[in-house]
Amino acid sequence: MNNDSKKLTTASGIPYAENENSMTAGARGPILLQDFILHEKMAHFNRERIPERVVHAKGSGAYGVFKVSHDISAYTRAKLFGEIGKETKVFLRFSTVGGEKGSADTERDPRGFAVKFYTEDGNWDLVGNNTPVFFLKDPKKFSDFIHTQKRDPYTNSKSATMMWDFWSLNPESLHQVTILMSDRGTPYGYRHMDGFGSHTFSLINSANERHWVKFHFKTRQGIKNFTDQEAAEMRGKNPDFAQHDLLTSIDKGEFPVWDLKIQVMTEEEAKNYRWNPFDLTKVWPHGDFPLIDVGTLTLNENPANYFAHVEQAAFAPAHVVDGVGYSPDKMLQGRLLSYPDAHRYRLGSNYEQIPVNRCPFAVNNYERDGQMRVDGNGGSSPNYFPNSFDDIVADQSYKEPGLDLGHAVADWYDRNAEGENDHYSQPGDLYRLMSQQARQDLISNIVHSMSGIEGPKKETIVNRQLCHWFRADVGLGMAVAKGMNIDLDINMNAHS
């Protein structure tokens, strides 16, 4: 071994000398339990496969950059669109929808088109397909639909009967089925197809005004598709055609580019439009809502390791940033729950600490523990909110306007607003209903527990809680203060 060589080590960094032969009792004897290296290698190998995605299992991905080319500040205050020329790092994952990880890239199937923007306001995941519509308009139908795209429970094979039975019973699917059955259902790799956010989202500007929006990524490589026969032939020649095509084009410096464009609809226009603008089975015709240029997305970097980046990438439509919001699109609303839930199952509760998913800017919250917590776990800082010790605040400048649903406004309502803020009458009544002995026991228990408050914020916490006891019943407050040896005259003067 020369000085430049790297030592072979265990995962815990301990060097070891034998990596090819198991330790045995004699040359031909049985293997010994103490050969820890054997156990580590075998145990890790048994766990190398994480659960594959329920949908979009097979995919390809690359890093790149989004660059703003046009001003859309009239519609959104999102910082990544803040100025012409601004660049934001992105990761884009393409995928087939219904097939398993080992399926062919040229199967007739929609293609996933998921973009993660690493913005200074957090990660924005725009998770769509290569089609502007979908098969369904209600998330309650989703699991049933996906079952028809998977394997028959009896034959364990794909079933045209299941697919067409479902589609024939759900005519809302017809728009997407028409696209799927055209040559657009077998795109020539990933570079020669458009991408869509598909759902209706909202954009919110600096005046807190909302517009409804559709996102479109238009390929500069030109639309190119396989015929059905060509797709079938490619499945036999190279089932990983799309992966190979994307990887090699980037390696050769032929970076694929998409132009991001948006359609915008006012809230007033949405109220009277001829179709439900939040129906995922419908498009907004360009004649009514023309495309507006925004910027360009260029993929220019292949991940160094497929598993670490592409397989562990996790996208969720719930992840929007300030200036981008949701809509009453029912399918979108369903995905807000199901996507993060799927990632927690597949990758663990701390999946957002995996490098490809990690926000490169400040992250402050009170989530702690869980499998694979690798970021210091918050150190000694509090794990609850609100508290008296840190300076983390909920910044109200990021608040969205309420969503007018006609019969009601969807918003964050103060649970302790006027009429909902009497926290003292009933506890006071309860105290006054107690027997003398029960009151004494209550006071004794409170004093004993509150005497355990420690640290530099002790006085602040004690006084704050004393105020609550006084508001419930003056006598109760006085008794607790006396039990804690607090001189109320001095205390009142100090805080007057």
| Catalytic sites, residue numbers | 56, 129
Kind and range of the H or E run holding 402: none
User: Using CA atoms, how far apart are residues 6 and 481, in angstroms rounded to an integer?
Assistant: 67
CA-nearest of 250, 255, 298 to 67 is: 298
At 161, the amino acid letter reads T
Tokens 């916490």 — which residue? 461
Angle at 108 between CA 106 and CA 114, to 5 degrees: 75
* Phi and psi at residue 92, to the nearest 5°: -120, 130
State how far the Cα of 126 lies from the Cα of 317, in Å rounded to an integer. Answer: 6
For residues 486 and 477, give the distance between their C-alpha atoms in angstroms, rounded to a whole number: 11
Q: Which of 83, 88, 91, 148 is nearest to 114 (CA)?
A: 91
Whether residue 283 contacts residue 133, with contact meaning beta carbons closer than 8 Å, is answered with yes
- DSSP-assigned beta bridge partners for residue 96: 111
Do 30 and 24 contact (CB within 8 A), yes or no? yes
DSSP code at position 9:
B
Axis crossing angle, helix 425-433 with helix 458-472, rounded to the nearest 10: 70
Q: Identity (one letter) of the amino acid at 40?
A: E
Is the bond preceding 15 in cis, omega lying within 30 degrees of 0? no
Residue pair 130/194 in contact by the 8 Å Cβ criterion = yes
Helices (DSSP H) in 313-380: which residue ranges?
Answer: 330-347
**E strands in 201-250:** 201-204, 210-219
Radius of gyration of the chain (CA): 30
CA distance 117 to 124: 5
For the chain, the straight-line distance linking the first and the last C-alpha, in angstroms and rounded, comes to 76
124 CB-contact burial (10 Å; exposed 0-12 / middle 13-18 / buried 19+):
buried
Contact 378, 368 (CB under 8 A): yes
Could you give the CA distance from residue 417 to residue 401 in angstroms, rounded to a whole number? 18
